Amino acid sequence: MTEPRIVRRDELSEFYIGERCHVVEHWNSADDASVSVARIRVAPGTTTQLHRLRGTAERYLIQSGFGRIEIGGLAPAELGPGDTAFIPADTAQRIANPGDGDLVFLAICTPRFVPECYENLEAQDA
């Protein structure tokens, strides 16, 4: 059973991943496997890697900046602060930042994100 606790955000914990974005893990714990929450930062002029999360649904909640998202068979869509995109499990996705400032959003995954669920689809694009 999970005990109550408070986790303090540490801005210094931001790290860069090969998906072409920066991540701060706010919540990702094996003893709460039902959900994870991360802050994602995409630099101006950057498009994240085309990928999917096997068995994991994801929501992007835009905090600041603007993005252009591609999700499965949907037409690309513009997103801004306050917008949320739902990405079903096993669905191809990527987001571009065409703006001059950082694109920042929360990525909320159910069940929680684990590296083994990530599948790079760019190699299949070639």
Residues 8-56: pLDDT tens digits? Answer: 766 668 999 999 999 999 999 999 999 999 999 999 999 999 999 999 9
Quick check: 70 and 93 in contact, CB under 8 A? yes
φ, ψ dihedrals at 120, nearest 5°: -75, 125
Pairing between strand 77-79 and 21-27?
unpaired
Q: Is residue 74 part of a domain?
A: yes
Per the structure, the count of domains in the chain is: 1
Residue 15 in any domain: the answer is: no
- Domain ranges, residue 103: 36-125
Q: Which residue has the tokens 């801004």?
A: 80
Please give the average per-residue pLDDT across 88-102, as a whole number.
98
CATH code for the domain of 88:
2.60.120.10
Specify which residues 108 forms β-bridges with: 37, 59
Residue 8 lies in a domain: no
For residue 118, tell me if it sits in a domain: yes
**What is the percent of the chain where pLDDT is above 90?**
84
Beta bridge partners of 38: 25, 107
Mean pLDDT of the 53-63 span: 98
Tell me whether residue 17 is in a domain. no
Question: Residue 14 falls within a domain, yes or no?
Answer: no
